[in-house]
Structure 1
Amino acid sequence: MDIEDVVRQAEEAGVELIEFLFVDHAGTIRGKLTHVDHLRSRMTGGIGLTPAMMAMNMLDQLQPIPEMGPVGEVRLIPDPDSFRVLPYSPGVGSMMCDLISLSHEPWEACPRSFLKSVVRQAEQMGIGVMSTYEDEFTLAKLDENGQYVPIDEALCFSSIAMDVGNPVILDIMRALKAQGIQPEQYYPELGHGQHELSISPTDLLTAADNQVRYRETVRAVAKQHGMIASFAPKPFANEAGNGAHIHFSLWDKEGKQNLFWDPADRYKLSKTGYQFAAGILRHLPGLVALTCASVNSYRRLNPRSWSSAYTAFGPDNREAAVRIASTFWGNEEKSMNMELKSSDSSANPYLALGAVVAAGLEGIRNDWHPGGTLEVDPASLTEQERAAMGVVRLPSTLAEAVDNLEADHFFDQLLGDLRIRSYKAVKRSEHAAFAEADTEFELKHHFYKF
């Protein structure tokens, strides 16, 4: 679409306000709004934003990054193709934005521009990437004491939980479809009030945009039903955690051949697929600082929690970090994909998806192999057995993950100086802030903010 297409659609839909959205280093969805009367000029000239917003942590504590202080400005420049009329907010539309410097170039800390650069990397290799997030979220209400309480205490996949969640889930699905996002499967999950609703894969940039739309939609529709929806990785200390597993497949430049498919392989996975998995696994101890991006993430990322606490790889192994997913009968080649389980919704999806794919592409370029496939729970093996297979424990805290990110120089070049400096500063500040507080403080702030 172009600017005139967006203006026409907005006026025809009765839109008065348009959100210009971005995601910061804390994983928070932020933005500014413009009235439709100014839409043409704002789409061309953008909306001004202080660079300091990318130095804010999830508690709105500004970190001392010299380039992200009170001096300077970047512009929120929206992508016309991302325009959507919001079905849950009458009179409002939204667009996803790039952060552009005053020299009219992508700003060095812009997450969406970073993902675009990874898409170009893949295209230069003749590769197109299809991806989607598979999100879990918790539906709760506030009790008379101001405590979050799950909407049900039903069992995993229970029809009782389906009945309790039915009205809000149906409205969420309708709102997603109205924004061009296709729901696929839904079911209640293990935790009380926990639900999972998967959506169809798309190109990489749209997949990240859709993760933003998904989080916004679920929270807004839940609010209309008198509920709070939380994507916090561990919303309750004694309940199952919420993941946001990343599914991905690689395709030829025409989008016709699935480059992961090899019918002759035992697991139907091609050499390219093994190489891609190897790149992710090699960098995963640092990569989780981007995919499991909050203090709360590491309450979930534990052995025997079905959340992938080890750099393991295997077919339908839900304790492995990278899973070779079973194909759908009658649609084997097109449905061949892999899943990264060590991922949740506290991540900035543009940084997380970009880094995952870049790591995989490095595995292809270097002809790496992931080693043996694991068909048992890695926690059931001895430390010596895991070491012999090259399987290591993932970080157990956000601080440890950031240390690994810093130690792996692959990320220095990939992310660039300003982005990685500011990201590490934000994450280290979050670790320090929550280390001084109790568990109740941590759960409360993550529950509401994600």
Structure 2
Amino acid sequence: MTKDLEKYAADQGIKYFMVSYTDLFGAQRAKMVPAQAIADMQQDGAGFAGFATWLDVTPAHPDMLALPDPEAVIRLPWKPEVAWVPANCMMNDAPLEQAPRNVLLRQIEAAAEQGLSVKTGVEAEFFLLDPNGLEIADNLDTAEKPCYDQQAIMRRYDVIAEISDYMIELGWGPYQSDHEDANGQFEMNWGFDDALATADKHSFFKFMVKSVAEKHGLRATFMPKPIKGLTGNGCHAHISVWDKDGKKNLFTDGTHDLGMSDIGWHFIGGMMKHASALAAITNPTVNSYKRINAPRTTSGATWAPNTVTWTGNNRTHMIRVPGAGRFELRLPDGAANPYLMQAVIIAAGVSGISSKATPGKRLDIDMYQDGHTVKNAPRLPLNLLDALRYFDKDKVLKSALGEEFSAAFVKLKRREWDSFVSHFSRWERDNTLDI
């Protein structure tokens, strides 16, 4: 039943709503709306100038109206008089095709037309840095292998426990938090859900982590590779496909290898087939490729793939099948747009089901030690430009995601790449000044 946001505000003591949308680059944009004005916003939307954010529109375009989704409203646990509500972007009385949440909604609808619903969970990793974002905030966090460091996580107990408490309060079902593989890095896990709900929670989680960190005088970052030599921020996705009512896991088949059904293998086959192209979305920044193409880190492993391979319960591959009924995609990083990441997973996987794609040969080797022995597996893109080229050539994936979105994404991301390559770095001076 659709919530009346005005009544919700009265019942919950809400003074303000943050009507929020996520642009093509993953930046969250919002307007703060007084509760007494929310009824009009629920009806007509909050007005934005789309050109002022990372969307492919001009200053001459009409207002973009962000219609709040009342079913997804979240009261801020750290500021209870405020509620965050994700919005669907409209322009000229129609959905703005390139807006990321709209892209995901179309993928969910396309899957539903085939009797499928996709459920996902994400493993969001982040660093806690000093307020300037230059150094790890904890100067005692120096272990060579800091993963699961008991003392280090307790030194950040106030931050991690506060966020976990909030997730408990919100009913997300958080089940573990840990110090991750890099110094200053943490991961927090909560229960899986329908793809849209997971995307909304993922988006809110990033907002929440940054807000709580700032409250404690720290800076949180989900940047894929913020510290040279250390493990980067991944955002591993766990994926399963259910019937349209979400009651039966269609990936589960105890008679098949690893307990994965034919539908599951075809879905994975779609991921494998489109991997190099979907990297443009799961790894959408210049910095992303310093994570998936990194040399060995100080801890001994990057924990990131650089080759399109799959396996059983083995974390050195792009796709891991840890048990019956689900698989893990280890490619995405912390910069991935929460909505576009879910959308491209569904688009690639459902296309695999439709075409009965196969994932190819299972490899059970340690890719970090013996990956050089694999001769026919594609390498993942070496940089953002290569990923964009793969994406631009993938007609199936572009069509599934929508031509308007695809054109806008490639255009703006190519502009970002051009900005990067026109930048003169200290490395260039250090290595070529005396030539």
* TM-score of the aligned structures, taking structure 2 as reference length: 0.91
Confirm or deny: 8 A CA contact 1:126 1:253 kept in the other structure: yes
User: Paired residue for 1:364?
Assistant: 353
Q: Is the contact between residue 306 and residue 379 of structure 2 (CA under 8 Å) also seen in structure 1?
A: yes
Match of 1:182, SS state, is coil
Asked whether 1:428 is paired with 2:414, we answer yes
**Correspondence 1:319 to 2:319:** no
Alignment of 1:160-179 (within 5 A): 160-179=151-170
Give the C-alpha shift of residue 379 in structure 1.
5.1
Percentage of pairs with the same residue? 29
- CA distance, structure 2, for counterparts of residue 259 and residue 55 of structure 1: 37
| Residue aligning to 1:39 | 38
Helix, strand or coil: the match of 1:267? helix
Q: Kindly provide the amino acid, as one letter, of the partner of residue 320 in structure 2.
A: R
Kept after mapping to 2: 8 A contact 1:175/1:217: no
CA contact (8 A) 2:266 2:349 kept: yes
Seen in structure 2, the aligned counterparts of structure 1 residues 42 and 277 have a Cα distance that, compared at 3 Å, is same
Q: Which residue identity does 2:104 align to in structure 1?
A: L
2:71 corresponding residue in structure 1: 81
Supply the distance in 2 between the matched residues of 1:7 and 1:203 (Cα, whole angstroms). 26
Q: How many residues align?
A: 417
Superposition pairs of residues 124-273 of structure 1, within 5 angstroms: 124-142=113-131, 147-151=134-138, 152-154=141-143, 155-273=146-264
Q: After the TM superposition, which parts of structure 1 deviate over 4 Å for at least 4 consecutive aligned residues?
A: 379-384, 438-441
Q: Which amino acid aligns with 1:346?
A: A
1:96 matched residue in structure 2: 86
Alpha-carbon distance change, 398 to 32 in structure 1, aligned in 2, over 3 angstroms? same
Which structure 1 segments of 5+ residues have no match? Answer: 57-64, 327-332, 442-450
Contact 2:238–2:326 (8 Å) recurs in 1: yes
Per the alignment, in what secondary structure is the counterpart of residue 281 of structure 1?
helix
TM-aligned CA deviation for residue 26 of structure 1: 1.0
2:309·2:319 contact (CA, 8 Å) conserved in 1?
yes
Residue 294 of structure 1 is matched in structure 2 by 285
Distance 1:223 1:87 in 2: 15
Distance 1:374 1:384, change over 3 A: closer
Contact 1:55 1:422 in 2 (8 A): no
Q: Distance in 2 between matches of 1:405 and 1:418?
A: 14
SS of equivalent residue, structure 1 residue 129: strand
Between stretches 392-401 and 86-95, larger displacement belongs to 86-95
The AA in structure 2 aligned to 1:307 is: A
Assess, with a 3 A threshold, how the Cα gap between structure 1 residues 71 and 116 changes in structure 2: closer, same or farther: closer
Query: Which region of structure 1 is more displaced relative to structure 2, 197-206 or 112-121?
Result: 112-121
8 Å CA contact 1:7–1:40 kept in 2: the answer is: yes
> Are 1:115 and 1:351, in contact at CA under 8 Å, matched by a contact in 2?
yes
C-alpha deviation, 1:381, in angstroms? 4.6
Q: Tell me, in whole angstroms, the C-alpha distance in 1 between the residues paired with 2:392 and 2:177.
A: 38
Q: Does 1:69 align with 2:59?
A: yes
* TM-score, with structure 1 as normaliser: 0.88
Instruction: Identify the residue that residue 430 of structure 2 maps to in structure 1.
Output: none
Partner of 1:121: 110
How far, CA to CA, are the matches of 1:272 and 1:294 in structure 2?
32
Aligned to 1:401: 387
Structure 1 residue 195: Cα displacement: 0.6
Q: Are the counterparts in 1 of residues 117 and 246 from structure 2 also a CA contact under 8 Å?
A: yes
Q: 1:363-402 alignment to 2 at 5 Å?
A: 363-378=352-367, 380-381=369-370, 385-387=374-376, 391-402=377-388
Cα displacement (A) at 1:352: 1.5
Give the secondary structure class of the aligned counterpart of 1:325: strand
Contact persistence 2:365–2:371 (CA under 8 A) = no
Superimposed CA distance per residue, residues 279-302 of structure 1 (whole angstroms, 9 cap, x where no aligned partner): 011001010101111111111012
Q: Which amino acid is 2:355 matched to? A: N
How far does residue 257 in structure 1 lie from its aligned partner after superposition? Answer: 2.0
Summarize deviations over 1:65-112 as a string: whole Å, max 9, x none.
5x4333322210010111111012342111000001222x21121211
- The runs of 5 or more residues in structure 2 that have no matched partner are 295-300, 428-435
Distance in 2, Cα, partners of 1:149 & 1:117: 40
Offset at residue 380 of structure 1 (A): 4.4
Q: d(CA) in 1 for partners of 2:130 and 2:371?
A: 43
- 1:337 is aligned to 326
Q: Compute the displacement of 1:440 (Å).
A: 8.4
Deviations 1:164-192 (A, max 9, x none): 12221110011223333221221111111
Q: 1:163 to 1:3 in 2, by over 3 A?
A: closer
Contact 2:270 2:348 in 1 (8 A): yes
CA shift at 1:396, angstroms?
A: 1.3
* 2:3/2:71 contact within 8 Å kept: no
Change (3 A) 1:277 1:250: same
C-alpha distance in 2, partners of 1:120/1:291? 21
Q: CA deviation at 1:233?
A: 0.5
Q: Indicate whether 1:276 and 2:235 are aligned.
A: no
Write the letter of the residue equivalent to 2:394.
D
The residue type paired with residue 11 of structure 1 is A
Aligned partner letter, 2:412 = V
**Distance in 1 of aligned mates of 2:398 and 2:243:** 29
Output the CA distance in 2 between the equivalents of 1:85 and 1:287.
Answer: 33
Q: For residues 116 and 203 of structure 1, what CA distance do their matches in structure 2 show?
A: 12
In structure 1, the partner of 2:297 is none
The amino acid that maps onto 1:111 is P
Q: 1:268 deviation in Å?
A: 1.3
Alignment-mate amino acid for residue 260 of structure 1: F
Structure-2 separation of matches of 1:16 and 1:382: 56
SS in 2 for 1:191: coil
Distance 1:68 1:418 in 2: 15
Structure 1 vs Structure 2 CA RMSD? 2.1
Task: Check 1:13–1:148 CA distance in 2 against 1; reply closer, same or farther (3 A cut).
Answer: farther
